[in-house]
Structure 1
Amino acid sequence: MLSNIAQHMSFQLQSGEPLIDGIRRISLQQIDQALDQLTNPDFDRDKAVHEARKTCKRLRAILRLVRDEVGYPFYRRENVRIRDASRLLAPARDSAVMVDTLDSLVHRFENLADDDMAGKRVETAVFTPFPATGFATLRTKLVERHQHLSRHILETDAVPRFITAVRTARLQVAEWPLQNEGFSAIAGGLYRVYRRGRLRMTRAQENTTTEALHDWRKRVKYLWHQLEFIQPIRPTLLNELGEALHSLSGSLGNEHDLA
C-alpha cells in the first residue's frame, strides 16, 4: 500500500502533464488503490475500509471538478455509482470511529486530570476528573458493535458489491467525455463546489446543527481534494489554501464524531 505521503503526492497533476491525461491517471489510480486495499488479505481490514472510502471521496471530488465537461447525466451516473459503493462500507467505518472517539475523549480528560493534579491549571478552575473506568462498559459495547458490523460486511456481499461497482467505474474512466485541455474544463466545477461550500457555511452559521455542519464539511473536503489535484498549477497559494481547508475539515469532522 502507498504511504500517506505517497498517496498525497500521487493525487496531483504532474508538472507539464496535460489536464485530461492527469484526470484519467488520477481517477484510475484512486480506483486501483481502493481495489488493492480491499482485495489484499495482508491489509488491516479496518484500515482498508477507511482508505477505500477515502479514495471514493477523492474520486467524487474529481467527478465534481469535471462535471460541466462530462455533462450532468454522465456525472450523476458515475457519482451515484461511487457514492453507493462507498455506503456499503460505511457501517463498519462509522462504528470504528465511535470507538476511536471515545478513546480520544478518555485520553484527553485523563491528561487534563494529570495537569490539574500537577498544579498546571489556574487555582480558580473547577475540574472534575474524567471517570475513565466508568466508560469501560460503554467501550466494550461499542467494540462489540463494531466487530459485529465488520463481520456482517465480510459475511455478506458488501465487499464484493463494492468491488464490482468500482471495477465498473474503472472501465468507464476511458469513456469520460473529456475534450478541453484548458482551465475552462474544470473552472465551472471548481467554482460550483466553492459556491456551495460558502452556502453551506452560511446555513451552518445560521442554524448550527450536526446535520448542517456535516453538510458543510462534505463541501469543504471536496474543495480540499480538488485543490490537492491542481496544486502544481500554483503551488504556494493552493498549498496554503489546501492546508486551511484540511484543518477546517478536521475540526468539523471532530464535531461530527462527537455528535
Structure 2
Amino acid sequence: MTFLFHAKESCAHAVRRLGSQRIDHAIAALAEAPRSEKAVHDARKSIKKARAIIRLVEDGLEGVGRLDRRLGRVARQLGAPRDALVLIQRFADLQRGHRLGAAGDRLAEAFAQQRVATETALQAALPQMLEALAEVRRRVKRCDPSGGWALAWRGIERVYADAAKAHRRAQRSRKATDLHRWRRRLKEQWYAIRLLVPAWPEALQPLNQELSRLSDTLGLNHDLHVLGTEIRRRETDRDRKRTLLRSLGVRRESTSAEALRHGERLYAEDPAAYARRLHRYWRLWRDEAP
C-alpha cells in the first residue's frame, strides 16, 4: 500500500484516503497477528504515517489535537516492546567489545525480563487500542479539512521549518533530548517528502533516501542514550560502569556529529523557498498528468 499523493485528487480526499488506509492497515495487522513482532512494528509505522498526514493539514482540521493524541498514545504502547528489544540488541553489541562475564549476563537477563513485561502489557491493552484506532478511523473518513491544497503546502513549509529549528537547537546543545526531538521533526519532513516523490522521482527519491538514512542515524544515537541511562541505573560496579559509558559516549558522539553535519546541508534552504520549489514540481506534475 503506497503512501503517495495522487496527481488529480483533492487535498481533502488525499487526507481521508491516506489517513484511513494507514489506520485500516494498523488495525488489520494487530487483529490478524497481535503477537507478531513484525505486525506490531508495521502497525506502529502505519500510525506514524497517519499522524503525519493529519498534522500536515492541522490548521484546517477541527479536533486534530485529540486525534493526534489518541494515535500517539497507541503508537507509544506499540513501541514499548520494540524499544525493549532494541535495548537487548544494543547491549549485545556492547558486550562483544567488553568482557563483562556474569555481570553482563545479569544485565542481559534484566533487559529480557523488561521486554517480557512490555509485551504482556501490550497484549492486555490491545482491545482498548483497537477501539481507539477504530474511532479515529471513523473520524478521519468523515474529515473535511478546509483550505484545499494551499493548506497542505503551508503544512509542508511548517514541518520543514520545525525540523530546521530542531536541528539548530540540537547543534547548539548536543543534548540527547534535543537530538531525539530533531529526529521526530525530521520524520515528519520525511513523510511529507514521501507523499511528493511521484512529482519528480529523479529529484525527490534521493532526498527521501537521505532522510531515511538520517532518521536511522539519529535513531541509533537515541538507542545508545537509552542504553546508557539503563546502565547508569542498573550497573553497580563503578569502574565497569565508567568503561561502558565511555564506550557508548564515543559512539554517540560519532553518530551525532555525522547527523548534524548532514543536517547543515539539508536545511541550507529557506523554508519558504523550499516549499515553493516543491510546489513547482507538484504543479508541473499535476498539469502533465492525464
Partner of 2:30: 38
Q: CA deviation at 1:159?
A: 1.0
Q: Which residue of 2 aligns with 1:173?
A: 140
- Per-residue Cα deviation, 1:120-140 (whole angstroms, up to 9, x for no partner): xxxxxxxxx533756333222
Structure 2 counterpart of 1:116: none
Which residue of 107, 112, 119 maps to 1:143?
112
Structure 1: state its 5+ residue gaps. 1-6, 111-128
State the partner residue of 2:191.
Answer: 225
Question: Match of 1:97?
Answer: 86
Structure 2 stretches lacking a partner, 5+ long = 226-290
**Residue 67, structure 1, aligned to residue 58, structure 2:** yes
Instruction: Verify the 8 A CA contact 1:85 1:161 in the aligned structure 2.
Output: no
User: TM-score, length-normalised on structure 1?
Assistant: 0.79
Larger RCO of the pair (alpha carbons < 8 Å, separation 6+): 1
Work out the CA distance in 2 between the residues paired with 1:253 and 1:131: 26
Q: TM-score, normalised on structure 2?
A: 0.71
- 2:51 pairs with 1:81: no
Give the AA of the match of 1:130.
H
* CA distance in 2: counterparts of 1:251 and 1:95, whole angstroms: 19
- The 3 A distance-change label for structure 1 pair 77 and 148 is closer
- Counterpart of 1:205? 171
Q: Secondary structure at the match of 2:98?
A: coil
Maintained 8 Å contact 1:34/1:56 = yes
C-alpha displacement of 1:105: 4.0
Identity over the aligned pairs, expressed in percent? 29
Opposite residue 43 of structure 2, the aligned amino acid is: A
Work out the CA distance in 2 between the residues paired with 1:227 and 1:91: 27
Q: Distance in 1 between the 2:194 and 2:73 partners?
A: 24
Aligned residues between the structures? 224
- One-letter amino acid of the counterpart of residue 136, structure 2: A
Match of 2:17 in 1: 25
**Displacement of 1:249 after TM fit?**
0.7
1:57 aligned partner: 48
Q: Give the Cα–Cα distance (whole angstroms) in 1 for the partners of residues 31 and 38 of structure 2.
A: 13
Find the aligned partners of 1:133 and 1:257 in 2 and give their Cα distance: 23
> How far off its partner does 1:179 sit?
4.8
- How many angstroms apart in 1 are the aligned matches of 2:193 and 2:94? 32
Kept after mapping to 1: 8 A contact 2:17/2:141: no
Q: Which residue of 2 aligns with 1:131?
A: 99
Alignment of 1:237-248 (within 5 A): 237-248=203-214
Helix, strand or coil at the partner of 1:174: helix
Distance change in 2, residues 1:104/1:25 (3 Å): farther
Instruction: Give, in angstroms, the shift of residue 15 of structure 1.
Output: 4.6
- Kept in 2: contact 1:89–1:159 (CA 8 A): no
